[in-house]
Amino acid sequence: MKPILIPHQTYQDFVMEQLKKHYFGGVLVLLNKDWPLIAKLWITDLSPITTYLQDFYGARGPLPRDPASMLRSYLVYLQTNPEKSITEWVDELYRVPLYAILSGFEPRDIPGVGTFYDFFKRLWGAHVQNLKPKKQKKHKRKPRKGKKGEKAPTATPGKVKRLVKWMIRHIDHKTNLPSDRLFHFFQSQFLAVSVKLGLLGDMDALSAAGDGTSVATAAYPRYKPTCDCRAQGLADCNHDRIYSQPDCDSGWDSARERYFNGYHLYMISACDSPYDLPLYPRLQPASRHDAVSLVVSSVEFKQRFTLGTVDKMLLDAAHDAEAIYLLLDHQNIEPFIDLNTRSKKNTEIGGDIQISPKGIPICPIGLEMKPNGYDNKQDRQKWRCPLACGTKNSCTTPCSTAKYGRTFHTHRKDNLRLYPKTARSSDKWKMIYKRRTSIERSNKREKIDYKLESGRHRSTGMWYIRIYGIMMCQHIDAWYNHQKEELKNLPSLIFPKAA
């Protein structure tokens, strides 16, 4: 049968009734640390998931469990016991009545493990749980190690440039992904609420940040051979293998300085958000470089995000490739990317002015010129003599007779990488770029606070569900902190006599 919509008000009445029944004047008691969790679920309306998943339930058969309660229970699990398995979580629901009540279940009427996984299958928009087939050619060797604290280099020179050209040619062609079902619900029920509360920044000119992080899923790749070469003494054959995690491979973790097997999670977040809220996740093979992941993620996100306009993209030096600037310029997004200095020599451009590796004009006596505004009509940056920016020109050997001093212009069309719209040496660039670290704090919340890597999953579908569940929790945490003063009266609302 199709699930029946249970309004959020009905859920709140159920929670109030059950808490009074089991915790008011009874053996069970609520601690102060329980109330934040109660408040978070109290303000989170998940009832639209029932309507959203209606078409994925059969018309016959027994009445299914309420989808909103199933999702709510999964979020309570991530908030309280993210290191446990789903099997252990079902046991926890029996042991702690509060968790069952907040999920929307009667304390003695708990769904089984199989019911949870049946629900998870409906959140994934494909019949198979992985993106690639399990039967594959033997995976290549591990990628090269990066320098200490740096990402491993791309394995194929020019790969980013070729990918960008392909993406620009097909940028209007949207490919449906199995994870779209999760993102559309996340966007309509979580991002939209955060927008209304003003927690994502200016939606007409949204500033986003992107960065990749490793997600280790196993100690080593697991596979079975499809041949009997090993029995014949040929251990290193090239026949196909059957991989238990076909979307994973080996990568280099620059933060931990070790190899790992799993995924490369590329995350895009709202960097002007006071709570560093995530916007869009993309799982890639562990060997994938940040620059390659950004190309795929930025195009997919721009095609799917409908709540605002991305105006700026803040990225670290691992993304410093000319093709990245070309892609973002094509998407009408201003890039703020730290330079990965390839040379320490100045560039000769003809005449007595040189260009530093940072894209700053160098005057004839070797001083960096000062940015002096941007000409939007001619799309060029104006630079001025650094010794003429005061009341008078203090240069002993001035290269211009003008009292204003020597000026110079750099055009973006000449080099998008060296001549960005906002000069890197300007205070405006530094003020905007310092918010890039918000993506690292967001990734830390997912990996450390919510124990992302503790998931015991073998399929990409379940990893996406875990990631989106954690992202939902991050937004719920932000809603709670934003409305904390208003929620102080919640205990007296549920237990009026006790108050």
The pLDDT assigned to 150 comes to 63
* Whether residue 327 sits in one domain with residue 186: yes
* Whether residue 372 sits in one domain with residue 328: no
The pLDDT assigned to 151 comes to 63
The pLDDT assigned to 41 comes to 97
- φ/ψ (deg, to 5) at 372: -135, 45
DSSP 379-426: TEEEEE-GGGSSSS---SS-S---TT--EEEEEGGG-TTTS-SS-TTS
Q: For residues 240 and 231, is the Cβ–Cβ distance under 8 A?
A: no
* Whether residue 334 sits in one domain with residue 236: yes
Query: In 3-state terms, what secondary structure has residue 68?
Result: helix
**Residue 446 included in any domain:** yes
The pLDDT assigned to 120 comes to 97
* Whether residue 243 sits in one domain with residue 164: yes
* Whether residue 304 sits in one domain with residue 378: no
* Whether residue 142 sits in one domain with residue 115: no
* Whether residue 284 sits in one domain with residue 385: no
The pLDDT assigned to 107 comes to 93
**Residue 254 included in any domain:** yes
pTM of the model: 0.91
- For residue 268, give the CATH number of its domain: 3.30.420.10
- CA–CA separation, 323 vs 291, rounded Å? 9
Residue 168 contacts by C-beta under 8 Å, 6 or more apart in sequence?
326, 327, 330
* Whether residue 175 sits in one domain with residue 84: no
* Whether residue 211 sits in one domain with residue 157: yes
Q: For residues 451 and 82, is the Cβ–Cβ distance under 8 A?
A: yes
- φ/ψ (deg, to 5) at 2: -75, 145
**Residue 490 included in any domain:** no
**Residue 429 included in any domain:** no
* Whether residue 104 sits in one domain with residue 20: yes
What's the token pair of residue 486? 């208003």
The pLDDT assigned to 414 comes to 84
Domain boundary among 392, 420, 448: 420
DSSP state of 147: S
Q: Could you list the residue range(s) of the whole structural domain that residue 309 is in?
A: 135-339+435-481
The pLDDT assigned to 316 comes to 93
**Residue 498 included in any domain:** no
**Residue 275 included in any domain:** yes
* Whether residue 200 sits in one domain with residue 332: yes
The pLDDT assigned to 499 comes to 43
**Residue 328 included in any domain:** yes
Q: For residues 334 and 433, is the Cβ–Cβ distance under 8 A?
A: no
The pLDDT assigned to 50 comes to 96
Other C-beta atoms lying within 10 Å of the C-beta of residue 349: 12
Q: What is the pLDDT along the chain (499 residues), one digit of tens a residue?
A: 899 999 999 999 999 999 999 887 767 888 899 999 999 999 999 999 999 999 999 999 899 999 999 999 999 999 999 999 999 999 999 999 999 999 999 998 999 999 999 999 999 999 999 999 999 988 876 676 766 656 666 656 688 999 999 999 999 889 999 999 999 999 999 999 999 999 999 999 999 999 999 999 987 888 888 898 888 888 788 889 999 999 999 888 888 888 899 999 999 999 999 999 999 999 999 989 999 999 999 999 999 999 999 999 999 999 999 999 999 999 999 999 998 876 677 877 778 888 888 888 898 888 888 888 888 888 888 988 888 876 677 787 788 877 778 889 888 888 888 888 898 888 999 999 999 999 999 999 999 999 999 998 999 999 999 999 999 999 999 999 999 999 998 988 888 764 4
DSSP 205-227: GEEEEEEEEEEEEESS--EEESS
Q: Which helix (H) or strand (E) holds 314?
A: strand 310-315
**Residue 459 included in any domain:** yes
* Whether residue 394 sits in one domain with residue 287: no
Instruction: Please give the tally of structural domains in the chain.
Output: 3
The pLDDT assigned to 219 comes to 79
Domain boundary among 123, 143, 172: 123
Query: In 3-state terms, what secondary structure has residue 497?
Result: coil
Give the residue from 134, 154, 129 showing the smallest Cα distance to 251.
154
Give the residue from 172, 273, 318, 313 showing the smallest Cα distance to 482.
273
Give the residue from 351, 350, 374, 369 showing the smallest Cα distance to 359.
369
